[in-house]
Amino acid sequence: MRITDSAATRGKMRRTLRGWLWLGLPLLLLASPHATAQQEIRFDVLGLFHPRELILQPEGSQVLLVAAQGDAGNPALVLNGEPGHRQIVFRAEGDRVVAGDRSASSWTAAARDNGAVAFRLTVPGKFHRVYCARLAIQARKGQLLAVVAMDRETAVASIVAAEMAESSPMEALKAQAVVTRSFLTAGSRHLNFDFCDTTHCQFLKSPPPLTSRVTSAVQATQRLILAYRGKPLAAMYSSRCGGQTHSLRDVGLRELGNAPGDAYPYYSVRCQWCRRHPATWQSKIGSSGQPPKPGDERRRIAEARQWGWSAIPGSDFTATADGAGWLLEGHSAGHGVGMCQMGAAGMAAAGAGFREILSHYYPNTELITQP
Ligand SMILES: [Zn+2]
Ligand SMILES: [Zn+2]
């Protein structure tokens, strides 16, 4: 193990600075403890619902200060759960966000000290989620864009809670925590925020309680990430590899964000658990001309956009002509690149530690500590 270089830290601080500037908060705030605390990560959330309206409520006894951009002369609105201060409804009007009788280009919400606070965000009639973060809301063409900024470890815990059952073996949860932290540390995947909360980036649940086994796994691996040639690895993983994981070349992909040749190639490794527990799926899809091609992840994603995400659950399958379409049969779930989550749980149940699991699925990487 070794400490990472300061360039990575500087990059993170730049990202944090960009985040604060984007939130429209004065530079003066950079002197506050929150601005210099650990890395903050910005997620675009609930975008799948294309919300025109969002309801903001404090969670529990939390107090939120809500401010409109360009509203420096007016006191912030207070949400503290008391009558008249229970919720704010934001509505998109073109590129403006309206709350009550006030309209602004963007709104922010945070704790009194401008730090993270627990709040509930609801898409009326559809969905709600709790975040421990700072919030910024903008609008584009009548749709609200909500970005939550939270510290990295809260993000890691929220993602592990979404990606793995809390009852999974502890060493598998730890391996997932390191993989998730590595992905978040390797760099942004969007321009105006870092990650989205869809399959494109990372699922994100409400943060697990302190007593959760997920929280324990995150705390036990604090600051640990996977690196390749000294750089954080945007570690890929899938749910069930089918018995053998794939290299990027196997599935026609290359690592995002890296120059060709500098990318971690991934390796095809055996997965004992999947070999001992074979599972098959069958699916019927319509014809889009050529037969679906196994082992081509770009093609699978394109087919999934046309036929739905459950139409081709994994990259390994056989395709047989069936009437006007195709009958697909496969053994894997996901792209099969990097850690196999079922395999990791199997290794952990058999006594492997998280380090052993990670070195099995990510050969030639190292574990390093990040500040
Ligand atoms: Zn994304
Ligand atoms: Zn597997």
Per-residue model confidence as pLDDT tens digits over 137-151 = 999 999 999 999 999
Split at pLDDT 50, 70, 90, the class of 30 is very low
Q: Could you say which ligand is closest to the alpha carbon of residue 242?
A: 2
What are the residues facing 368 on neighbouring strands? 225
Mean pLDDT of 328-339: 82
Q: Could you say which ligand is closest to the alpha carbon of residue 278?
A: 2
For the stretch 341-361, what's the b/e string if a residue is b when 16 or more beta carbons lie within 10 angstroms of its beta carbon? Answer: bbbbbbbbeeebebeebbbbb
Distance 188 CA to ligand 1 centre (A): 9
Enter the pTM of the model. Answer: 0.80
Phi, psi of 155 (to 5 degrees): -65, -45
Q: What angle do CA 284, 288, 292 make, to 5 degrees?
A: 60
Mean pLDDT of 257-283: 81
pLDDT of residue 3 exceeding 60: no
Phi, psi of 322 (to 5 degrees): -145, 100
Q: How is the chain split into domains, by residue range?
A: 6-152, 154-274+335-369, 280-330
Q: Could you say which ligand is closest to the alpha carbon of residue 256?
A: 1
Distance 150 CA to ligand 1 centre (A): 16
Please tell me the predicted confidence (pLDDT) of residue 261. 60
Mean pLDDT of 242-270: 77
Mean pLDDT of 212-223: 97
Q: Could you say which ligand is closest to the alpha carbon of residue 272?
A: 2
Q: Could you say which ligand is closest to the alpha carbon of residue 202?
A: 1
Distance 274 CA to ligand 1 centre (A): 29
Split at pLDDT 50, 70, 90, the class of 255 is low
Distance 358 CA to ligand 2 centre (A): 13
- Residue labelled with tokens 């210099």: 36
**Which residue has better confidence, 100 or 179?**
179
345: its two tokens: 């749980």
Mean pLDDT of 289-316: 72
Alpha carbons within 13 angstroms on the beta-carbon side of residue 294 total 16
Q: Could you say which ligand is closest to the alpha carbon of residue 43?
A: 1
Q: Could you say which ligand is closest to the alpha carbon of residue 42?
A: 1
What are the residues facing 92 on neighbouring strands? 97
Task: Tally the residues of the chain.
Answer: 371
Distance 145 CA to ligand 1 centre (A): 14
Q: Could you say which ligand is closest to the alpha carbon of residue 192?
A: 1
pLDDT of residue 299 exceeding 50: yes
Distance 306 CA to ligand 2 centre (A): 27
Q: Are 247 and 268 in contact (CB under 8 A)?
A: yes
Distance 241 CA to ligand 1 centre (A): 23
Distance 352 CA to ligand 2 centre (A): 15
Q: Could you say which ligand is closest to the alpha carbon of residue 343?
A: 2
pLDDT of residue 317 exceeding 70: yes
Q: Could you say which ligand is closest to the alpha carbon of residue 197?
A: 1
Distance 37 CA to ligand 1 centre (A): 25
Please tell me the predicted confidence (pLDDT) of residue 288. 66
Distance 237 CA to ligand 2 centre (A): 10
Chain segment 222-233, per-residue pLDDT in tens: 999 999 999 999
Distance 183 CA to ligand 2 centre (A): 20
Chain segment 148-186, per-residue pLDDT in tens: 999 999 999 999 999 999 999 999 999 999 999 999 999
Please tell me the predicted confidence (pLDDT) of residue 250. 79
Distance 331 CA to ligand 2 centre (A): 10
Nearest to 256, CA basis, from 298, 316, 193, 198: 298
Distance 276 CA to ligand 1 centre (A): 34
Q: Are 292 and 285 in contact (CB under 8 A)?
A: yes
Instruction: Round the average pLDDT of the chain to a whole number and report it.
Output: 84
Mean pLDDT is lowest, of 85-89, 123-127, 225-229, 301-305, for 301-305
